[in-house]
Structure 1
Amino acid sequence: SNLPLRAGSRGYNANGIRSYKSPSENDIRGHWDMLRTYLNSLDSVLEELKPIAERVARDNTVIVMTCNFGQSELLMNFVCAAESRGFDLGNVLVFSTDKETKELAEGLGLATYYDERNFEHIPTKEAGRYGDRAFVAMMYAKVVCVQLINMLGYDLLFQDVDVVWYQNPLPWFKADIQKKELEGKNGGNGGVVGNAGHPWDMYFQDDGAHTVRYAPYSANSGFYYVRSNERTRYLFASLLYHGDLIRTTDSHQQTLIALLNEHASLFGLRVKILNRDTPEFPGGWHYHKKNKQFMKSILTGEVTPYIFHMSWTTNKNNKLKFFQQMGEWRVKDTCV
């Protein structure tokens, strides 16, 4: 091309489409309204939530989920699949966004928290597709539930409801952290960040979409582990403040990745993306894009991952069908 060089943001794709656009005034003001409610109710919310988190936490760790009634079948499937393999879900805390889901989750034996002040605007129906109104509204709940538990000082595993466990994933994260700490005590690797003696602050499942929009991390916002410290607390406070960008991009994930990049650079946040080419934490990318032999190896038992996350899938109905194809749709009357 003979065109002169010109300055451009890192959010431009090769086809000239800009992945990041500044929030509109409507998105900014809409976010301010939600943030005002959050701040005005924060002290009361923390007072209500603190004893629940204390009761649920084990080894200072809480498994955090959020769900509305439209997605509750997927929550039921997670519970039924876990119980079929004998897993204890006593440290799971479900942030219900409506009363119906609160009652259902408690009926499944799960601990719940419902905050009508902050969640009353969230639709009860499931998202019809990625980025629609119900989807974006649930993104706000995904921000708030993690930020509150992190603020209370707990390590946490956040996961979407479209996940099934083959093994309890918490021991994997704990073991990796302990390994890094032990290496540090034994001399380590000269203090290189992320290596010996320096455990990661956050671990993310690889989304699989290695595009400009999700650069540089391609972190999946539906399955990740967080250690509670000053770096992660400020990250999630910042994510809460960026709700207008979430509304503009229709993506909690895109906004979170942008902040991961910034906070790693400015504050030394240590972020680990779990390799998508290893078998421990597969998801929708593996189901739809990777060599089908890998999925067959899960079905035959040749490979036993820790979890499977049905991401990259249009809506709840498709997720249900694909779980059925995998033999992982476990919702039965005897379970629920």
Structure 2
Amino acid sequence: MASYKLRVRDMIIIALCSAFLALPYFLFMHTPTVMFLNGLMNRSTVREESDDGPHKEMTSISSSVSEGSDLPNSNSTLSFSAESKTNVAPTPAATPALIPPSKKFEELPGLEDVLIRTSMPDKTVIITTLNSAWAKNNTMVDLFLESFQEGDNIAHLVNHILIVALDQSAYDRCEQIHHHCYRLETEGVDFAAEKFFMSSDYLKMMWRRIDFLRIVLELGYNMVFADADIMWFRDPFPHFSPYADFQIACDHFNGRPTDLQNLPNGGFVYVRSNNVTINFYKFWFDSRMKHPGKHDQDVFNDIKKTKAFARLGLKVEFLDTVYFGGFCEVSQDFEKVCTMHANCCTGLERKLSDLRLTMSDWRRFKNMTREEKRNQRIFWQAPKECLHSCKLKALRIKILYTLLVFVCIFCFLGCHQSLKNGFLKDLCCSPSLPQNMLSPVPMRVERDRKKLYRRRSEAVDEDPAS
């Protein structure tokens, strides 16, 4: 019984020590790994939600802050003048009255003309960016445009897509397959090749995109920006809140659309053009100087809780992953999903492989009868290849680290003097060492035996007759 208690005690100590030492490592590791696991867990768990769509309640961000602002010093001066606002929510079709008159931008010639041709009647345009690596035949851009044709009555949205080509090769390819293309040049930077995640050119490409979107807003156009690795299945506009200025997709959605604790993904945003959003994009772009080496999504995560961000008065909502899903957190409700993003995944080939599986699953769902949809439940095959991306490698590193911590604690406890009689006793008893160096128990037995022998000998000497 005592031996059993010692074993239980040793196992509890090992578990507690392992958890204590491994916790800091898990906390400071890159958070997308946790998001990726949440997405995998959602394969078997589908959230129950009403058919009323995402929550419409919106609480405005407090604009009262103490002295001292986090605004960086830059050439872009943000305007924080008080503006009169009504309590009536603007309709998506209404163009805000705060927009300055449209003007030409010398650095982006022809942009306003192509926006006029591409935009919807309410001056909303869908924008995506493209480089030559994603523009090759039968690759990302083809899947992107194909999803609109395969989607549920959204083929007409193709006429409102502006493809922004980041290099000449991508522009030439865009001209062959699409009607609305724009060549965005960046002096001294070649965006033609595939840009690996968080590389120097990748960061330049992300920040060039933010600056371009700011100009689109200044021209008075609302926009839906979507990465080309997003498949569209349904019209997303009915699920946008009329109360928010800026709405962004999530890697992980906690169920509260106005909660800043949500983990955003800049690959899909819906922005209304007004002075607040224009100032926000200036602030966002300028904040890159205070957060070197980070891309736009991480910088947004850092600044969304600052005093300077609160002073902007930006009304933010996060989009529910039930409608705007991704590989980080897969939407399992085929009846509601609007878009699917190949996030939490690196590498063009991996993205293409899993997005093709996604399109295959969507076609299978569309071909099902009403009765089959009611009686059968299907799941996305993806992510599959993306499981081998760097995000999962980070998870493997965590697991190996935890195992290493466990082994170290196990060995430490095995050599500890207080646990020598527990279930680790055999590890301590090395045959190459003298027995009396390992355990004092045999020594006491030997001493007692010798004392008893001496006493008996002395008794015999004192009483020879006995």
Q: Which TM-score applies when normalising by structure 1?
A: 0.68
Match of 1:170?
A: 237
Q: d(CA) in 2 for partners of 1:150 and 1:260? A: 20
Secondary structure of 1:275 counterpart: coil
The answer to whether the 8 A contact 2:253-2:320 is kept is no
Match of 1:83?
A: 149
Q: Where in structure 2 are the equivalents of 1:47-62 lying within 5 Å?
A: 47-58=109-120, 59-62=122-125
Write out per-residue CA displacement over residues 107-128 of structure 1, whole angstroms, 9 at most, x where no aligned residue: 1124121132x26504311133
Write out per-residue CA displacement over residues 203-252 of structure 1, whole angstroms, 9 at most, x where no aligned residue: 11112288xxxx73411100010011111100111222233356422x21
The answer to whether the 8 A contact 1:245-1:255 is kept is no
1:90/1:69 CA distance change after superposition, 3 Å: same
Match of 2:164?
A: 95
Q: d(CA) in 2 for partners of 1:264 and 1:123? A: 31
The answer to whether the 8 A contact 1:136-1:247 is kept is no
1:316/1:44 CA distance change after superposition, 3 Å: same
1:65 CA drift (Å): 1.0
Match of 2:219?
A: 152
The answer to whether the 8 A contact 1:260-1:271 is kept is no
Given the alignment of the two structures, is residue 272 of structure 1 paired with residue 356 of structure 2, yes or no?
no
Match of 2:392?
A: none
Q: d(CA) in 2 for partners of 1:242 and 1:50? A: 27
Q: d(CA) in 2 for partners of 1:119 and 1:64? A: 22
1:65 is matched by which residue type in structure 2?
T
1:90 CA drift (Å): 1.2
Q: Which TM-score applies when normalising by structure 2?
A: 0.50
1:329/1:139 CA distance change after superposition, 3 Å: farther
1:155 is matched by which residue type in structure 2?
N
Secondary structure of 2:144 counterpart: helix
Query: Which residue of the other structure, out of 254, 271, 283, is the alignment partner of 1:226?
Result: 271
The answer to whether the 8 A contact 1:206-1:275 is kept is yes
Secondary structure of 1:70 counterpart: helix
The answer to whether the 8 A contact 1:164-1:328 is kept is no
Match of 2:195?
A: 127
The answer to whether the 8 A contact 2:226-2:269 is kept is yes
Extract unaligned runs of 5+ from structure 2: 1-22, 31-73, 76-103, 255-259, 363-466
Q: d(CA) in 2 for partners of 1:328 and 1:135? A: 30
The answer to whether the 8 A contact 1:94-1:110 is kept is no
Q: d(CA) in 2 for partners of 1:120 and 1:100? A: 16
1:328 CA drift (Å): 4.5
Match of 1:252?
A: 296
The answer to whether the 8 A contact 2:118-2:159 is kept is yes
Secondary structure of 2:282 counterpart: helix
The answer to whether the 8 A contact 1:97-1:120 is kept is no
The answer to whether the 8 A contact 1:87-1:168 is kept is no
Write out per-residue CA displacement over residues 15-38 of structure 1, whole angstroms, 9 at most, x where no aligned residue: 58599xxxxxxxxxxx99xxxxxx
Match of 1:286?
A: 329
Given the alignment of the two structures, is residue 109 of structure 1 paired with residue 178 of structure 2, yes or no?
yes
Structure number with larger C-alpha Rg: 2
Secondary structure of 2:244 counterpart: coil
1:64 CA drift (Å): 1.2
1:329 CA drift (Å): 9.8
The answer to whether the 8 A contact 2:203-2:293 is kept is no
RMSD: 3.1
1:264/1:270 CA distance change after superposition, 3 Å: farther
Q: d(CA) in 2 for partners of 1:207 and 1:143? A: 19
1:54 CA drift (Å): 1.4
1:154 CA drift (Å): 0.9
Q: d(CA) in 1 for partners of 2:117 and 2:245? A: 24
1:141/1:329 CA distance change after superposition, 3 Å: farther
Identity of aligned residues (%): 20
Match of 1:44?
A: 106
More displaced 10-residue stretch of structure 1: 321-330 or 220-229: 321-330
Q: d(CA) in 1 for partners of 2:181 and 2:187? A: 14
Q: d(CA) in 1 for partners of 2:358 and 2:184? A: 35
Match of 2:341?
A: 309
Q: d(CA) in 1 for partners of 2:181 and 2:291? A: 25
1:328/1:233 CA distance change after superposition, 3 Å: farther
1:63 CA drift (Å): 0.7
Query: Which residue of the other structure, out of 359, 364, 370, is the alignment partner of 1:327?
Result: 359
Match of 2:375?
A: none
1:306/1:18 CA distance change after superposition, 3 Å: closer
Given the alignment of the two structures, is residue 63 of structure 1 paired with residue 106 of structure 2, yes or no?
no
